[in-house]
Structure 1
Amino acid sequence: MSLFKQGRYSGYLRPISYLIDLSIINGLAILYFFKDIDPKMFVFFISLSWIILSIYSRFYEVYRYTREVTVFSLALRQMVLFTLIIFAFAGFYHDLNIYPVTVFNYVLVSFLGIIFFKFTLYYLLQKYRVSFGGNYRKTVIFGVNKKTLALENFFTKNPEYGYVHKKTFNFKDKKTSDLNTCFEYIQKEGIDEIYCSISELTNSQINEVADFADNNLKILKFLPDNKEIYSKKLKYEYYDYIPILTLRDIPLEEPINMVLKRTFDIIFSSLVIIFLLSWLTPLIAILIKLESKGPVFFKQSRNGFNYKEFDCYKFRSMTPNKDAHLYQATRGDNRITKIGRFIRKTSIDELPQFFNVLFGDMSVVGPRPHMVSHTNMYAKKIDKFMVRHFVKPGITGLAQISGFRGEVESDKDIIGRVKYDIFYIENWSLLLDLKIIIKTFVNAIKGEDKAY
């Protein structure tokens, strides 16, 4: 899956950590400490409490640059709060006669087990990065001063964190200060992250670097000073004792949000496939076949998460033609069949994409994927178009319910689409997804002017 691209994310780690920690706290409780409790009741209550508590305390927000003392303090805070939850459970079910000494023993053993696992994983990952060169990110630094030299030293002397520093660009030297040369180097070397000293660049250069990072799927971070950074969302992080600013905070990069969205996608797509597509597909297939020769399904290559290509499926709504992969349908397009016009107007033609969702190439909600030829064209002419590929594409999206679905008739259409897509990426929530799904359903019933 593209979600776990080398050098950017280790997406399996936190879900696995959740499962192991939940196994420890539930297993110890049921098998050793609280044998008389109802297992189903306890597992539901404690597991839900643990997950909510973890989100609140940021227990699983441990990154490659997080120090051991921070990991330990996170675990200690988590277990103190967890102790209070266990006492609340014991008080609510007082007939179980759960004594304080038993609670403290249970929490202590659980704490030791979780700490052991957490640090084992922490050090195994470091060993993996050092010995096998895996799970790494290539970096460059823009600007030379005490802070950037300290950061370069951090990257060089701490290979266990998984950073491979490739180059530091000195903007005091006019020979190496050309940004285009820097950008060419970044593309050639496959750099993952750019670290930029604000004090070494002008405001116009900072804007140029930010635009380049957005349009080429590079992570951009800053070493802060007294200059202003014009951004709505900034995220502070510390590499050892070096403060780092991230320009764009993307909620769907948080593992718990990834798990929530992926779980929702699997459940929702499964329900649609079982209860709708299972009987609708044969009917649509017969109607398509009766009107024209050709396959029932239409397959088209599109760009998804991290710009990776995938096959996007639809019910065929046109007569087979060699231009289908190059040109969008337009108003009055004579390639569209009669049944095709109906399924396009009602968005039924998009339903097979729920298989794409189930397979993990797409999400129910997200930026709509474009044909590969159109993506290449828009990436060159529309600023920040590539930001859309920081998340999985969707069957529907905020731009589509805001009047920017269907044919792109002018640059204004694609600029508006990008604007709404970036807002969605930076402000994602499960409630926003539900709102978009409901609005999409309402629009499909009412019919839309650009649904042709």
Structure 2
Amino acid sequence: MNAPVARVSGSLRKRAKARAKALRMPLMPSLQQRRLQCYLAFILGDVLAIVAGFALAGYLRTETFSGATLMLSQLVLPVYLTIALYNDSYSIESLRSTSHSVIRSLLALGLSVAVITFITFYARSTDHYSRPLFTIGVVLSALFVLVNRVAMRRFVRWRCGVSVINQLVIDDGGPDITLHGAFHVSAQSFALAPVLDDPHALDRIGMIIRNADRVVISSVPERRANWSIILKGANVAGEVVDDTVLELSAQGARIANGHGLLLVSVGPMGLRDRLQKRMLDAIVAGSALLLLSPILLLVALAVKLEDGGPVFFVQRRVGRGNRFFPIFKFRSMSVNKIGRNGTQSAAKDDKRITRVGKIIRSTSIDELPQLINVLRGDMSLVGPRPHATGSMAGGKLFWEVDPRYWERHALKPGLTGLAQIRGYRGATDREEDLTDRLYADLEYLHGWSLWRDIWIMLMTVRVVVHSRAF
């Protein structure tokens, strides 16, 4: 056998061996048919639940199972199934999450009842069926649908497992990544190479990712483009690990004018949310200033009488968008010993604090003038607490401890916040004293709601008097 023939023969043997190895790999079972079975089970269960609900309602009303009750269920079912198919009642998310499944199915039932009521009202056909019977039937149907969706959780796990979808991670020399419930494959162990001019190499990759719903590639940078092309032709949801996304905290990506752009920031609140928050601030701050005016006048008088100095302490703080603003507080320290830039935090038994200052600091009364900042629009009732530019933790400036410190200024600073109700207050002697607050502030930014603001304000009452107020 001549040399060229031997090389070709050897190459073919290697390819055959690699393919055989791929075939011996325990392939992921296909979940498409199993998910379809679950959807059909959901539909059948919902149909039986609604029919049973109206049948039981008829029996409770008349002690018989009449055709009239079945007619009512037949009136509801087509509308319910149509809405349910469009509102994600039968979706992968419903297979994943019991709460999502229950909420979507009950919402579909509620909308279908509203549609039927609307149509029968305008058609003047409400006299053809019993309203109490219809109401009881709807309530019982909702109960049975809820029970059905909760019971289906075990059926879904039996058929599809915990993750519902097949996830595959291929390690091709990139960063280590672990996904719960995913299959992990070493590209080197199974001779997987993203070589676009070798159909045999692509065939091996195709064998490995067969039955996968989602594939994640962890590769060295020079092979990511090839993997991207392969995934696009694989009919799967494909992702390539790139830690640049982590470094920039990117939230999305798009292509514009021949360039790839990573979305690294978005406003944490839309226009409607900002209007709601501003209305709450204006109403509560205005009412509080009016109701607390006698206390504010007494405190102002006490501060003035103690040493004749100014009533208010005004300091520059960092606010929304990292812009400076003047914050107002009742003065609690001697005039000639106040730190204007906040470098030196107040400590226990701090000699700079006056007698009146000890009282108003321990009860947080010194913070009340910030209601004026709220009305001015510099601050909000709830948000990350504003810090002075010279504030330090563990001997470092705040932003030197963690560069994410500046992210907390995406919203207006607040009189109170999530960090405060969790007890993260007082002096920042250690770096942890800052990072605890920072993590709470960032959590607040990513989970804003009006009701959460109200809850934080109510919880603040518990920590108005606190052991770290000095």
The TM-score normalised by the length of structure 2 is 0.46
Higher relative contact order (CA 8 A, sep 6+): 1
Computing the radius of gyration from Cα coordinates, the structure with the larger value is: 2
The TM-score normalised by the length of structure 1 is 0.48
